[in-house]
């Protein structure tokens, strides 16, 4: 039977102390490495330059209000594309992104060329995934910056206020209307009209 020994054994105490210190240092090192990896992969230059096909959405984004606006606020790729609420969601998104990276590398090795044509061919499918995720999480990343109660406050233009008030009643989320905001209006490929703010499912 297990019996708790209250005897003081200096050797055991030493071993436990040394192990605790080693585990503590290893834990800090893993955490630091994880944080550095998240910071690095969340940087605008990583997103824009690591895979050269990302130069296409990057170029489009540079034309958008999220890149340059009169307030000088720069919204970056991960602000919209990486979850920010909980570290577990960030970790999960990073693990999924490893899958993109392996597709990219193995695609190269098996001779699939990541040309502009290939990107355009895959674009609608990629966009659908982003729409589905934003629909599912109620456009959470948009709401990190834009508050619906601010969009419906009396200092908004009447039209803008009215539309957003109504969207609360109809349970529509940002991405239902604001497709093609930062990138080429890819929703037109799915048969939608050429203007943004259109809901196509």
Q: How far is the CB of 87 from ligand HEC (least distance, A)?
A: 18
Among 126, 133, 152, 198, binds ligand HEC (CB under 6 A): 126
Write out the two tokens for 61: 């984004």
- Options 12-20, 89-97, 110-118, 135-143: segment touching ligand HEC (CB under 6 A): 135-143
CB atoms within 10 A of CB 114: 16
Query: How far apart (Å, rounded) are the C-alpha atoms in residues 103 and 115?
Result: 14
Closest CA to 179 of 159, 151, 201, 198: 198
CB atoms within 10 A of CB 141: 21
Helix, strand, coil fractions of the chain, as percent rounded to 5: 65, 0, 35
Q: Is 130 in the site for ligand HEC (CB under 6 A)?
A: yes
Site residues for ligand HEC, 7-46, by CB under 6 A, read none
- Options 6-14, 24-32, 73-81, 91-99: segment touching ligand HEC (CB under 6 A): 73-81
Task: Return residues touching ligand HEC (CB under 6 A).
Answer: 47-48, 54, 57-58, 61, 64-66, 69-71, 73, 75, 77, 79-81, 123, 126-127, 130-131, 139, 141-146, 148, 151, 157, 159-160, 163-164, 167, 172-184, 186, 197
């Amino acid at each position: 039977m297990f019996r708790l020994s209250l005897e003081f054994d200096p050797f055991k105490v030493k071993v436990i102390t040394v192990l605790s210190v080693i585990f503590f240092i290893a834990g800090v090192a893993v955490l630091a490495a994880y944080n550095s990896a998240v910071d690095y992969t969340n940087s605008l230059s990583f997103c824009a330059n690591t895979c050269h096909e990302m130069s296409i959405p990057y170029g489009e984004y540079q034309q958008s209000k999220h890149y340059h606006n009169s307030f000088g606020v720069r919204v970056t790729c991960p602000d919209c594309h990486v979850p920010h609420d909980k570290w577990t969601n960030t970790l999960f998104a990073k693990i999924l992104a490893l899958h993109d990276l392996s597709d990219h590398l193995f695609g190269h090795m098996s001779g699939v060329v990541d040309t502009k044509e290939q990107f355009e061919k895959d674009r609608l499918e990629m966009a659908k995934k982003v729409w589905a995720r934003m629909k599912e999480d109620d456009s959470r990343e948009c709401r990190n910056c834009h508050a619906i109660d601010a969009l419906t406050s009396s200092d908004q233009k009447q039209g803008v206020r009215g539309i957003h008030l109504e969207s609360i009643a109809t349970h529509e989320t940002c991405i239902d209307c604001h497709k093609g905001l930062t990138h080429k209006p890819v929703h037109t490929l799915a048969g939608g009209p050429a203007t943004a703010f259109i809901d196509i499912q």
